[in-house]
Structures are given as structure tokens and as C-alpha cells.
């Protein structure tokens, strides 16, 4: 089989270590998800990723430490204040410790994520971070997945033992959410300026999102030197406003993952890392 000339050029350049441009990525995301060409794209991206990271992976876990009606009001999230069906709740420190033990006691956990709503109590979060840091092995990173925060808060988190943060300016931020895209991006810069690892993602992908907007969104992470990149589809939960659009297939998600993998070749922040006695590990996309 002979590949289309543009696809052949992009893939051969990627195999030589050259990341595709934004225009190239739009082209790759424009391939029909069930086409032979999309299949070749995924196979090449997997091969490149395995080679780049020594055929190794990292294990991540997350604990949601509280839930509440969220003012972010994201149309894809079950906690949006205008449509949530959940009552406020908060895990006890004892329960956080129990779950942290369950995740980390095998010794293979690379990072434990602690997640809050967009609005959160900094004092409570610091207590949870302290408890988690005392629970998991020293080689396991503590990462926060929280709302927007400033430089002073970033310094507090780092002093408490946090090594990174998951933060995303999401697809159609400010349209499908009540949050300010500029504030989201400012927090991303704050994370990097504080010396914390930035965990990023192309999300939450739905059938209505175009290749062009996905590319612009995923490159925010690359342009800010993200430590890890990823892709995530939106789950069409019945009572959320965006469920009317449905959700993409796993095949389409794998295609987006492949594009993120190739685009991240130019991101120096996404690199093999050393973890206690292990050799290089793979930053999964």
C-alpha cells in the first residue's frame, strides 16, 4: 500500500525525531477514524513512543478528596452547580491515608494525584498533602488536580511536598464552562514558574470538536513544556448538558492519542525520568 504523500512525509519525519506542525496535526486528525491511514498513524506513533521511552510506563492514581456543586459549571461535569445530583462530601484524613496505602503499598506507584473541585480550601488541601506525603514512599510523587491558584499557593504546595499539578485549559473553555481561559492559562504558567511538573491533556473530547480546535488546545501543553501529555474523551453522562452530543469512540480517542504522541516529540519537558532504582520510565500518553 502506498500512503498519501502528506501522511508519508509526516510519519517519516516523526520517525526521524521531527514533530509535526500544527497544520500537520490538523491533517492527521482529519483522517477518518476507521481508515487504513489512521491505523498506520497509530501504529507508527506507538512504535515511536515505545522507542522513545524504552518500552516502559508509569503508574498513576488519583483520590478525589471532596465533592460539591462547582461554580465552574462545566457542561461535561457531573458536579456543575446547575445540574449536579451529588451532595457535598469530603473524605476524612483517615480515608485518604487508607486509599493512599492501597494505591502505593505495592511500590510501583509513580504519582498520587489529589483532586478537589475548582474552589478548594488551601488549609485543608495542605493537611491532605502532608498526610499523603507521610503515607506513600518517598519515590512516589504527590500531584494536585485543583482549581486555579497563584504563585504564593504554588510555593506553599511545593514546600508541602507537591511535585506537580494537573491543569488544563480545556476544549471550549469559557463556552462550555463558566471559567476564564486566561485564568486557566495563567495557572499553567504559574505551575511552570514554580518549578512544578505540568501534567496536561487534550480533553474533554466530544464528537463536535474539530481537528483545528483540538490542535490549538493540545499545543498549549506543548508550548508550556508539559511533563506529561494525554488525551481523554468526554463521557456522555445522561444529566450533563453536553451529553446530547454523545461521545467519541475508543478508536477515535486512540487516533488523538497518536497525534499527541507525535506532537510531543518537540516538547523537551516530556522526557524519560529516573525513579528510585528503576531505569528510564515512559510518560504515557
Find the domain containing 129 and state its range. Answer: 5-281
Structural element, H or E, at residue 12: helix 5-15
pLDDT at residue 283, rounded to an integer: 37
- 179 near 140, Cβ under 8 Å? no
pLDDT at residue 236, rounded to an integer: 95
CATH number at residue 32: 3.20.20.70
pLDDT at residue 266, rounded to an integer: 85
Mean per-residue pLDDT of the chain: 94
pLDDT at residue 62, rounded to an integer: 98
Alpha carbons 264 and 222: distance in angstroms, whole number: 6
**Domain tally for the chain?**
1
The pLDDT tens digits for 146-197 are: 999 999 999 999 999 999 999 999 999 999 999 999 999 999 999 999 999 9
C-alpha cell at 162: 507537591
* Overall average pLDDT of the 7-36 stretch: 98
Beta strands in 175-276 (DSSP E): 197-199, 202-205, 231-233, 273-275
pLDDT at residue 272, rounded to an integer: 66
* Overall average pLDDT of the 49-71 stretch: 96
CA 56 to chain centre: 18
Amino acid at each position: 500500500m502506498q500512503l498519501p504523500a502528506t501522511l508519508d512525509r509526516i510519519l517519516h519525519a516523526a520517525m526521524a525525531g521531527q514533530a509535526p506542525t500544527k497544520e500537520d496535526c490538523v491533517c492527521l486528525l482529519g483522517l477518518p477514524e476507521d481508515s487504513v491511514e489512521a491505523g498506520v498513524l497509530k501504529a507508527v506513533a506507538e512504535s515511536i513512543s515505545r522507542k522513545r521511552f524504552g518500552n516502559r510506563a508509569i503508574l498513576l492514581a488519583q483520590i478525589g478528596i471532596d465533592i460539591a456543586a462547582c461554580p465552574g459549571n462545566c457542561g461535561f461535569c457531573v458536579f456543575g452547580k446547575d445540574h449536579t445530583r451529588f451532595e457535598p462530601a469530603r473524605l476524612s484524613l483517615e480515608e485518604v491515608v487508607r486509599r493512599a496505602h492501597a494505591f502505593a503499598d505495592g511500590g510501583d506507584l509513580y504519582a498520587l494525584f489529589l483532586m478537589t473541585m475548582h474552589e478548594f480550601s488551601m488549609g485543608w488541601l495542605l493537611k491532605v498533602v502532608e498526610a499523603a506525603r507521610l503515607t506513600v514512599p518517598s519515590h512516589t510523587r504527590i500531584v494536585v488536580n485543583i482549581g486555579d491558584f497563584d504563585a504564593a499557593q504554588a510555593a506553599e504546595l511545593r514546600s508541602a511536598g507537591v511535585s506537580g499539578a494537573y491543569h488544563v485549559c480545556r476544549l471550549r473553555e469559557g463556552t462550555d464552562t463558566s471559567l476564564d481561559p486566561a485564568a486557566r492559562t495563567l495557572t499553567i504558567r504559574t505551575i511552570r514558574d514554580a518549578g512544578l511538573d505540568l501534567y496536561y491533556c487534550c480533553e474533554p473530547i466530544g464528537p463536535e470538536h474539530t481537528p483545528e480546535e483540538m490542535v490549538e488546545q493540545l499545543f498549549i501543553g506543548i508550548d508550556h513544556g508539559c511533563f506529561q501529555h494525554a488525551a481523554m474523551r468526554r463521557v456522555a453522562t445522561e444529566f450533563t448538558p453536553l451529553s446530547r452530543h454523545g461521545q467519541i469512540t475508543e478508536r477515535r480517542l486512540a487516533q488523538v492519542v497518536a497525534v499527541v504522541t507525535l506532537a510531543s516529540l518537540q516538547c523537551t519537558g516530556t522526557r524519560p525520568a529516573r525513579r528510585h532504582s528503576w531505569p528510564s520510565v515512559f510518560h504515557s500518553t
